[in-house]
């Protein structure tokens, strides 16, 4: 996957699994080996910008806490040794569980049990100009609140005058639970005498299906939450206490994890099914541009289609079908990746966009499928795609994972202020 992302310009974050933290924390040589294998070997072709050290280590494997900061330091020193420390940041995602009482945000503090370790983490982040990684889920906070907060507050929906949420100490008005959780984190950091460390939300989202005891896990709520989240993040503003600090955010998650254990909802957080089709409409545009819920429907080659059939379909589209196939010639913007899947997708779509209104179909002997997801990637613009900074939701479905992933190898969509496409790896990042 790192190789597939080479020369795309997509920002990539790579993750150290929880299982690897102990060895890297105890051994500088293990850290150097990890950096050489997973980072240095792919740069500068692959635009790796950050390393996530573990996933919620303090709350999920607390016995590893003593080696977490040493692991971060060892990885950073390995980056210095390879002259990559100015390009790649090191941090570690933590859950909201470390802040036991997030409301009111003004009085929030970290669990004192972890003060020593969190102090060391914050000192490392400050000294290396990195950022605090926060996993914040309004879904879980709403469920735990037992009706104290209105559902509209969790879903970024307007609140009536009698439901306004105000911090009694600062009189800041919170229009969403998401903002309150981020502000609670900033205040918890400030309580340990640190400032100017940005908070990046490395996980947030909403499940679209759940069990009988999970009534709020619905398609409607998931679609509402993620689309409103995108609009919220797109306005470049921070939470009430930090208005000038945009809330850079990852959506959990790209694909459903159909083999994931636990409650039914655990398998249904994805915005895509495993075949690359959308679970619900989601727009990655903060204007009137078209995103995944666009009225434009694209025609692409089916993942796994027979190569011979794809070749035949490609030849027909570029010949009798009169598709403009110049962009997939060698040296042109859509030539890479040089696969039948990619080239056929481009040709099929060009034909479909031109001929659909006069009866043209997206079939090509069963090798094609329609999708609302813009397959444009990098500098490659598919016919029908909006010519703007928003480059569609995802790269072609062939880049998606093919098997179940563990909690330390989740898929994400990253929303960075203007919400355009950015990456797939242990995370899929939008820049």
Q: Which residues are catalytic?
A: 56, 203
CA separation (Å) from 183 to 57, 101, 109, 416? 22, 12, 11, 18
The C-alpha angle 319, 323, 325, rounded to 5 degrees, equals 90
Hey, how many other C-beta atoms are within 10 angstroms of the C-beta on 181? 26
* CA–CA distance, 187 with 342 (Å, rounded to integer): 48
Would you state the structure tokens that stand for residue 63, as one six-digit string? 């016995």
Give 255's DSSP letter: B
Would you state the structure tokens that stand for residue 21, as one six-digit string? 């933290």
3-state SS assignment for residue 385? coil
Total residues belonging to the chain: 431
* CA–CA distance, 21 with 128 (Å, rounded to integer): 19
What are the helix (H) ranges across 161-272? 177-191, 219-234
- Tell me which residue has tokens 């009169």: 322
Q: Which residues does 383 contact at the CB level (< 8 Å), separation at least 6?
A: 324, 349, 350, 353, 354
* CA–CA distance, 408 with 430 (Å, rounded to integer): 19
* CA–CA distance, 311 with 238 (Å, rounded to integer): 50
The contacts found for 163-172 with CB under 8 angstroms, 24 or more apart, are 167/103, 167/104, 167/105, 167/106, 167/240, 168/104, 169/104, 169/106, 169/107, 170/104, 170/105, 170/106, 170/240, 170/241, 172/105, 172/106, 172/240, 172/241
* CA–CA distance, 407 with 342 (Å, rounded to integer): 30
- Tell me which residue has tokens 């974050």: 13
- Tell me which residue has tokens 């434009």: 296
Closest to 91 measured CA to CA, from 116, 59, 142, 128: 128
Would you state the structure tokens that stand for residue 28, as one six-digit string? 């500088």
* CA–CA distance, 358 with 377 (Å, rounded to integer): 28
Would you state the structure tokens that stand for residue 408, as one six-digit string? 């330390």
């Amino acid at each position: 996957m790192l190789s597939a992302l080479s020369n795309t310009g997509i920002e990539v974050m790579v993750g150290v699994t929880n299982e690897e933290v102990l060895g890297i924390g105890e051994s500088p040589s293990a850290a150097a080996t990890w950096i050489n294998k997973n980072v240095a070997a792919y740069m500068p072709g692959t635009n790796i910008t950050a390393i996530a050290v573990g996933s919620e280590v303090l709350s999920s494997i607390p016995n590893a806490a003593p080696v977490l900061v040493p692991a971060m330091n060892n990885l950073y020193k390995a980056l210095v040794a390879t002259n990559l420390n100015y390009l790649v940041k090191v941090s570690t995602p933590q859950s909201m569980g470390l802040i036991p009482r997030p409301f009111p945000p003004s009085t929030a503090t970290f669990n004192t049990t972890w003060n020593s370790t969190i102090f060391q983490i914050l000192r490392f982040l400050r000294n290396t100009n990195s950022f605090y990684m926060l996993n914040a889920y309004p879904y879980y906070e709403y469920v735990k609140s037992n009706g104290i907060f209105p559902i509209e507050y969790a879903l970024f929906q307007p609140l009536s005058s009698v439901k306004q949420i105000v911090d009694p100490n600062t009189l800041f008005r919170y229009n969403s639970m998401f903002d309150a959780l981020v502000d609670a984190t900033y205040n918890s950091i400030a309580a340990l005498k640190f400032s100017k460390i940005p908070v990046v939300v490395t996980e947030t989202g909403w499940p679209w299906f759940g069990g009988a005891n999970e009534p709020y896990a619905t398609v409607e709520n998931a679609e509402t939450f993620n689309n409103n989240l995108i609009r919220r993040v797109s306005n470049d503003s921070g939470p009430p206490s930090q208005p000038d600090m945009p809330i850079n955010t990852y959506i959990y998650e790209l694909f459903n994890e159909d083999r994931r254990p636990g409650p039914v909802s655990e398998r249904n957080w994805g915005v895509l099914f495993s075949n690359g089709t959308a679970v619900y409409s989601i727009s990655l545009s903060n204007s009137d541009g078209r995103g995944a819920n666009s009225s434009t429907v694209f025609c692409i080659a089916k993942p796994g289609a027979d190569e011979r059939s794809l070749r035949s379909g490609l030849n027909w589209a570029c010949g009798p079908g009169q598709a403009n196939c110049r962009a997939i010639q060698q040296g042109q913007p859509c030539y890479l990746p040089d696969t039948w899947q990619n080239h056929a997708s481009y040709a099929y779509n060009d034909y479909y966009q031109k001929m659909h209104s006069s009866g043209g179909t997206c079939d090509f002997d069963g090798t094609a499928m329609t999708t609302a997801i813009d397959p444009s990637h990098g500098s490659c613009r598919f016919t029908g795609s909006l010519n703007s900074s928003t480059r569609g939701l995802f790269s072609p479905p062939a880049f998606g994972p093919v098997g179940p992933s563990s909690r330390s190898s989740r898929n994400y969509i990253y929303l960075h202020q203007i919400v355009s496409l950015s990456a797939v790896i242990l995370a899929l990042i939008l820049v």
